[in-house]
Structure 1
């Protein structure tokens, strides 16, 4: 019995691989994001993924770029809505914490840091920096400092938040509430 494979364009194949890699990251952690695992998940060959990404490191870097661009675009749009009075700071905090927690950016960033593979970490940092530059200053608020505080809080929460809040007997959303209070202490908002 032969397996029938659907022919995908190069771009569709690449996008399917990145989505499968993101799903593996969220479900099983960064160590599960291998060419073989992604190929199996999308019904392609290891050679097909090598053609698109060159190596496992290339796949992981492409995943980091893809995730960083998507996440910063969403957060940037929410900041612009907040500046227009159509959103609030809580939404920005929630999106940032969800990106690092539920969406896997925290796992990917921590894996890159611990493995010393800055080729994966660099696109994340560059994309965040670009967003801060694009948003520009707003009413003399320290956007870079606010971003640093929010990202480090969200990363820490993604890595240890549940364990720490359980150990300390605190509600799970405590870190998010603290991040929001800290942002508000910078002068009212992150706009």
Structure 2
């Protein structure tokens, strides 16, 4: 019988977060329990308690993991777009997909409904760091940075809302399914065009 590979604490934690993310995408946020994750990775419930403390601790860690992964991807897409290697639509698609296909919208709603609002703190902190990284190098009081904050807020709210009710709302209004994405892409294209060197 083959022995199970011994994982470092960080590898064990990452394995649990990836399993939780898969459960979130496959089944929804209600499936992200310590029992389900431990069964998926072949670890004990006690092992996960050691890493996360509780189910809400697991959800909070998952929210942070998703936010960090998604925000890093968005940062790379924005830099590529600014360098002429990508487009604002790619940035929009990444943000919208994170909340829809990657489950961040469902997880956010679930945490709010179950009274685990503080689990959103890591997402907010990481988005704030993303804004700081993408903001122009001008002084903080410069209007361009405030515009970037507003655009980021708009993009996140559009992506979250679209993940939750976008399909039904677009259908009831007789709009194409990707109408919100198109609107967000137009906003970013206008902003990027205004800030191109030239």
CA shift for structure 1 position 115: 2.6
1:147 equivalent in structure 2? 152
2:141 equivalent in structure 1? none
3-state SS of 1:92 partner: helix
RMSD of aligned Cα (Å): 2.2
**Which shifted more, 99-108 or 110-119?**
110-119
3-state SS of 2:175 partner: coil
Q: Per-residue displacement from partner, 1:5-44 (whole Å, max 9, x unpaired)? A: 4432222211110001001111111111110010111111
Aligned partners of 2:32 and 2:59 also within 8 Å: yes
Q: Per-residue displacement from partner, 1:38-83 (whole Å, max 9, x unpaired)? A: 0111111111111111111111111111111111111011111122
**Aligned counterparts of 2:176 and 2:134: Cα–Cα separation in 1:** 33
2:187 equivalent in structure 1? 182
2:168 equivalent in structure 1? 163
CA shift for structure 1 position 166: 2.8
1:18 equivalent in structure 2? 17
User: Quick one: structure 1 residues 8 and 28, their matched pair in 2 at CA, closer, same or farther if it must change by over 3 Å?
Assistant: same
**Aligned counterparts of 1:16 and 1:154: Cα–Cα separation in 2:** 27
Q: TM-score, normalised by structure 2?
A: 0.87
**Aligned counterparts of 2:50 and 2:192: Cα–Cα separation in 1:** 50
User: Quick one: structure 1 residues 69 and 164, their matched pair in 2 at CA, closer, same or farther if it must change by over 3 Å?
Assistant: same
Gaps of 5+ in 1: none
**Aligned counterparts of 2:176 and 2:44: Cα–Cα separation in 1:** 45
**Aligned counterparts of 1:94 and 1:138: Cα–Cα separation in 2:** 26
How many residue pairs match? The answer is: 190
